[in-house]
Structure 1
Amino acid sequence: MATAFWDRERSGGRQASGGGSFWASGHTPTLVAAFLYFDLAFMVWVLLGPLAPYIAKALALGPAEKGLMVAVPTLAGAGLRVVNGLLVDRIGPKRSGAISQLIVIAGLFSAWTLGVSSFAGTLALGVILGFAGASFAIALPLASRWYPPEHQGKAMGLAGMGNSGTVFAALFAPALAALFGWNAVLGLACIPLTVVFLVYMALAKDPPNPPAPKRLAEYLAPLRQGDAWWLMAFYSVTFGGFVGLAASLPIYFTDRFALSPIHAGYATAACVFAGSLVRPMGGALADRIGGVRALTGVFALAALALVGVSMAGTFVAALACFVAAMLALGVGNGAVFQLVPQRFAAEIGVMTGLVGMAGGIGGFYLASSLGLAKQWTGSFAPGFLIFAALALVALAGLTIVKRGWRARWGTAAGVRI
């Protein structure tokens, strides 16, 4: 039945699973739709970061309040990723994505028309933006379920390259805020979101042979297995570091080096672009050398770069260290999701949600801790040093589990881990 379905889909880019080139083995229009959805969702997910200097000035926010403001969308996105993971397996990824996009568009439009005039209002907006961050648990299974195991890393890496949406937020939001006011940016964001929603509805197609609906308790069954917790922990460092920095760097550059919001946005965009660009490369690298080997280098380099950030005395030195950290973390994001479908192929929807939730929690921790560090010590350095230590803890954990993983499920999956 599956082969017959895939044969019918060849005109859209799908053929029978197994072997062949990457592009011939899946459904390209759906992959494009998943990328665009993810890209624009991530753009608005971190929107409060580039706007933070303007919002903080207008609402007289302190360092801890600024840190919490940009961290709340990541925490909301973390929790909602689990919800979306459940929806993907129950009503399908295309319909789940459509619902999420409409909620975000309606929320931003309401915030623009009604205005946001208090710190509490920014937190409420952050919760709405969490629906955009939760797109992770929809876009990745939407794309990856079309592809055979040997191409999972590349498929999820390309769909996950939607992280690059954070570049657009950093590049354009500060300049638009300077021209029209920061609240107007919320309304302007609805325009590309609506265009992408229409493209998504036209191109996306639910993958064949979706998993049968399960009882709620069955969705959380992977949490009874230690491998799920390890993968979640690793992603809380790689993706948590990426999104936490993406949300916090505009505040860091304006506070630490007195950059204008626009120039801080350009610097942030350079860092985020580096991490986004290498995500699919991370998936491809993990397909080639194994996710464990890739993550070993990732955690070591990320820790070293973040220590360098804590000691950087000039803007150039800090920027170089941030780019190095983002490159490592971007590779790590792709590498973790090369491993997830090899171990949890039957639960990929819920595992994408659970692992993505852990990444969001890591991002919330980093963004909020940087604000607290600045308020309590007058410096961001302690926040970076603690996260560097967490990367080393992740490296130690990877060293502990890697032999068992290769023996128990790497060989069975037939893919290098």
Structure 2
Amino acid sequence: MLSAFLYFDLSFMVWYLLGPMQVQIAGALLLDTQQRALMVAVPILSGAVLRLFLGLLADRIGAKRTGLLAQALVIAALMAAWTLGVHSFGQALLLGLMLGVAGASFAVALPLASRWYPPEHQGTAMGIAGAGNSGTVLAALFAPLLATMFGFRNVFGLACIPLLVVLVVFAVCAKDAPVPVARKSLRDYAHVLVGNRDSWWFMFFYAITFGGFVGFASALPGYFHDQFGFEPKIAGWATAACVLAGSVMRPIGGVIADRIGGTRTLLAVYLSVALLVGGAALGLGGTAGVVLLFVLTLLCLGAGNGAVFQLVPQRFGREIGLMTGLIGMAGGVGGFVLAAGLGVIKQHGGSYAPGLWLFAGIALLAWGLLRSVTHQWRSRWMALGTARI
């Protein structure tokens, strides 16, 4: 569990690295708002797609070996960015593509942890391992400050130090669970998508919770800078407060879902998020009020992430690696659309408010759709005993 958490934590730190430094990088490369948003969104999309393939690889060679390979690729990409530099928008996008490998760690860390625990403790186990997304807090806190002190190029080199330490810890301590894991293929992914409607529901619901979390985490430094004139360091700290709330709530959301049911938890999450983001779009409470609203929004989204993955192992226990890849991919796609979409709307409309209203409406739609399938799920999964739906 500890190895999975540390691997996930540091992977999320570097996956998110461009977000907190986006204002400084955009200033150096002369990027407009739309380009800046695309730059921070590309790692999210790359990580989403690569999760599918890392899930396949983890089923074939084991989660531990897959994690070691992925971490080595990320370190190599950061070392190249540090030694050669990032001098253009195209190079920034290329680095973002490579950092997506770190985002794909989702498909390694969660199966590595999940396969050691019975169904009634899946919400807690997956929540603790998934709390590794707190690595985004480290990036938000320190990356803008270090970029101001040493330049954003040197931050890439500094990030390699903790990654190398965790790589050694992971190599020594991580162990694959002694359970049989069937090798999957792309055909198996297609079969799950075509033959099971529940897989699409889970992908949609996670695209809102995790997509909202990672999308806002990437977009908020730029939003706070544009909307309130925050310096990069202050924007990073405000974002760190939001991300910390969401990261802390992920395991708590899993525990709550274990006790009251994942669907009940998610229903409360979606309704709360719709109200909170709507309040932020209206600018309720001024600068401090909007920051607080986003802290509460990411807190709710973090709880939703834990709740979704309390339900996933109960429905797809034998296909957890495959479904982790699919659902994680959907979450990343949701984050890409949110982060890039907010930038496009701001660039062409002059305001972030329409984008925020759109996301609030989608959260409300998710609440209504979840209510429509909850009764069906509960009646179908009654045989799961102590696990709560």
TM-score, normalised to structure 1, is 0.91
Q: Percent identity?
A: 59
Shift of 1:349: 0.0
Q: Give the counterpart of 1:143 among 86, 92, 113.
A: 113
Render the CA deviation track for 1:26-55: whole Å, top value 9, x for unaligned. Answer: xxxxx0000000000000111101110101
Structure-2 separation of matches of 1:212 and 1:79: 21
After superposition, residues 331-342 of structure 1 pair within 5 angstroms as: 331-342=303-314
The match for 1:319 is: 291
After superposition, residues 202-217 of structure 1 pair within 5 angstroms as: 202-217=172-187
The match for 2:196 is: 225
Structure-2 separation of matches of 1:63 and 1:387: 19
Structure-2 separation of matches of 1:167 and 1:281: 17
Render the CA deviation track for 1:265-286: whole Å, top value 9, x for unaligned. Answer: 1101000000000100000000
Shift of 1:411: 3.3
Render the CA deviation track for 1:160-202: whole Å, top value 9, x for unaligned. Answer: 0001100000000011000100111011100100000000111
The match for 1:387 is: 359
Asked if the contact 1:86–1:219 (Cα under 8 Å) also holds between the matched residues in 2, the reply is no
When residues 254 and 290 of structure 1 are mapped into structure 2, their CA distance, relative to the original with a 3 A threshold, is same
Shift of 1:89: 1.0
Residue aligned with 2:182, SS: coil
Asked if the contact 1:220–1:350 (Cα under 8 Å) also holds between the matched residues in 2, the reply is no
Q: Give the counterpart of 1:397 among 369, 372, 375.
A: 369
The match for 2:84 is: 114
The match for 2:264 is: 293
Q: Give the counterpart of 1:64 among 24, 31, 34.
A: 34
After superposition, residues 10-409 of structure 1 pair within 5 angstroms as: 31-223=1-193, 224-312=195-283, 314-409=286-381
Asked if the contact 1:302–1:391 (Cα under 8 Å) also holds between the matched residues in 2, the reply is yes
Asked if the contact 1:239–1:360 (Cα under 8 Å) also holds between the matched residues in 2, the reply is yes
When residues 296 and 108 of structure 1 are mapped into structure 2, their CA distance, relative to the original with a 3 A threshold, is same
Asked if the contact 1:306–1:321 (Cα under 8 Å) also holds between the matched residues in 2, the reply is yes
Structure-2 separation of matches of 1:87 and 1:214: 9
What is the total number of aligned residue pairs between the two structures? Answer: 387
Residue type of the alignment partner of 1:43:
M
Is there any run of 5+ residues in structure 2 with no aligned partner, and where? none
Structure-2 separation of matches of 1:412 and 1:328: 27
Asked if the contact 2:48–2:104 (Cα under 8 Å) also holds between the matched residues in 1, the reply is yes
Deviating beyond 4 angstroms after TM superposition, the runs of 4 or more aligned structure 1 residues are: none
Residue aligned with 1:49, SS: coil
When residues 99 and 413 of structure 1 are mapped into structure 2, their CA distance, relative to the original with a 3 A threshold, is farther
Shift of 1:414: 4.3
Asked if the contact 1:50–1:247 (Cα under 8 Å) also holds between the matched residues in 2, the reply is yes
Is there any run of 5+ residues in structure 1 with no aligned partner, and where? 1-30
Asked if the contact 2:56–2:183 (Cα under 8 Å) also holds between the matched residues in 1, the reply is no
When residues 117 and 410 of structure 1 are mapped into structure 2, their CA distance, relative to the original with a 3 A threshold, is farther
Render the CA deviation track for 1:367-395: whole Å, top value 9, x for unaligned. Answer: 00110111111111111111111111111
When residues 308 and 172 of structure 1 are mapped into structure 2, their CA distance, relative to the original with a 3 A threshold, is same
Residue type of the alignment partner of 1:211:
V
